[in-house]
Amino acid sequence: MIGPLLVAVPIAIYLMAALSVRREDVRLPDAFFTAHRKVDVTVFSTSSIAYAFQMSTIYPFIAWGASNFFFVPIVNTLFWGVGILLFQLSFRRYESFVGRDQTLHGLLGDQYGNSIRKLASYLTITGFLGFAVAELYFGSQVLLSISDGKDIVYVSIVGVSTLVYIYIAYGGQLSSMRTDQLQLAISYLGFFGIILYFLYVILSSQPTTNPPLTVASTVGVIYIPYVLYKRRGRFLRLGFGNRAIIAGGEFLNALIVLLLLAIWGSVLLLLRKGTVSLRPSPTF
């Protein structure tokens, strides 16, 4: 009974957030497709971070690390870094586009002609279809842990696809941003909670010296305080315009900060206990 509730409750929360959009806020095409002038910087950045969180394959990274399988994570990280570097190096070519009320396809059309604009649009649609199918299929595999048969996977694919269509058709980009904000809150709590549980398991056992764990622990001790300082303790803000929801967002933000502090304290305790060697290892 607990398993289905863990799946159903977040979906119900996302749906309520998506349907909280007022119809008069999305009457115009710009408002419906791009949420033009409908969100502030914090809401936009929060939804963007949530999307990046979805695409960062964090949980496969955890599984690969636990299995001492590092090749795919290193290749994945390397190519993401190369892609970001290429964006940075070519920033001057699209600097004038930033802040304009225009899509990237429109920019390419202005620079290289209408045929390139259409080609870029078709490539985007094809690429997003691939991502959508992959996310639906592999995300639905989680349901196998609470069901004996595979029928629930295909039912969930159809159900989630219908759900996404309903809330996007209802509130457009604004609905999508609101669900992203809540997804980020749940993702933070789930991810930091899992890390804290892993640390508890390690602390309660007597593990052998593990060089990757040594590196990760040392980096964590330095990086967590830096993140808390850099973000000024602000990781989440629900900008729905409702005081109760905003207060709930503040509570979730405080909980996220407490989880990070608990993780930092656990890593310090781990290093102090000596279950992780601080001596450099000749091999990684």
What is d(CA 49, CA 87) in angstroms, rounded to the nearest whole number?
17
Reported as a single tens digit per residue, the pLDDT across 67-99 is 777 787 788 788 888 988 998 888 887 777 776
| 276 neighbors 212 (Cβ within 8 angstroms) | no
Is the predicted pLDDT of residue 41 greater than 80, yes or no?
A: no
pLDDT band at 274 (very low <50, low <70, confident <90, very high): low
Burial classification of residue 30, based on how many CB atoms lie within 10 Å of its CB (0-12 exposed, 13-18 middle, 19 or more buried): middle
Mean local confidence (pLDDT), 253-259: 89
Cα dihedral 132, 133, 134, 136, rounded to 10, equals 80
Is the predicted pLDDT of residue 13 greater than 50, yes or no?
A: yes
Q: What is the pLDDT of residue 261?
A: 92
Sequence-ordered alpha helix ranges (H) in 35-70: 41-55, 58-66
Q: What is the pLDDT of residue 241?
A: 63
| 175 neighbors 19 (Cβ within 8 angstroms) | yes
Q: What is the pLDDT of residue 171?
A: 85
Beta-strand runs (E) in the chain: none
How much is the CA Rg of the chain, to the nearest whole Å? Answer: 22
What is d(CA 230, CA 235) in angstroms, rounded to the nearest whole number?
10
Reported as a single tens digit per residue, the pLDDT across 160-186 is 788 888 888 888 888 888 888 888 888
Mean local confidence (pLDDT), 19-48: 76
CB-based contacts of 264: which residues, under 8 Å, 6+ apart?
A: 220, 221, 224, 225
Q: What is the pLDDT of residue 279?
A: 46
3-state secondary structure of 238: coil
